[in-house]
Amino acid sequence: MLVQLALGAVLTLATVLVVALSWWALEALLLRLQAWSTGPTHGPRLIAILVLALLWTLCMIAVAVMFWAVAFHRLGVFANVEESVYFALVSFTTLGFGDILLPAEWRLLGGIAAANGLLLFGLLTAILVETIRGTRLKQRSRK
């Protein structure tokens, strides 16, 4: 049990750190694009920033899921990588189909992966909203 909790904590911290660093990089990119994004034709530029932020978010979710999938695979929990990725994604999104289950000795990791997914989806949603709000406020101030 303690091994699962420790491993889950490490994976959760790793995914949060990767997401935080990635959004920091996106923020730097958006600062470089600020003159462009606040120029005329605000609507299409806001949509472009939204699409960029959404794609960035999807990549971060994919990276976080892969952290979990690699851990499941390295632990020998599943027979192949596809099952590891599938279970990690289903757990991370809290969908929980239940068609593939963790062995009893690793089942706490499924709950921790789900909690990690909830936390990251909340964090990423907040950052997305702030990114769009900040862009829109900058656009309005330049009218």
How many other CB atoms are there within 10 angstroms of residue 69's CB atom? 24
**What phi and psi, each to the nearest 5 degrees, are found at residue 123?**
-60, -50
In whole angstroms, give the CA distance from residue 22 to residue 87.
Answer: 24
Domain 1-142, CATH among 1.10.15.40, 3.40.50.2300, 1.10.287.70, 3.30.750.24: 1.10.287.70
Domain range list for the chain: 1-142
pLDDT digits (tens, 9 = 90+) for 13-49: 999 999 999 999 999 999 999 989 888 888 899 999 9
In whole angstroms, give the CA distance from residue 97 to residue 16.
Answer: 25
pLDDT digits (tens, 9 = 90+) for 66-100: 999 999 999 999 999 999 999 999 999 988 888 88
CA atoms within 13 A on the CB side of 86: 13
Q: Give the list of residues 6+ apart from residue 1 with CB closer than 8 angstroms, or none.
A: 108
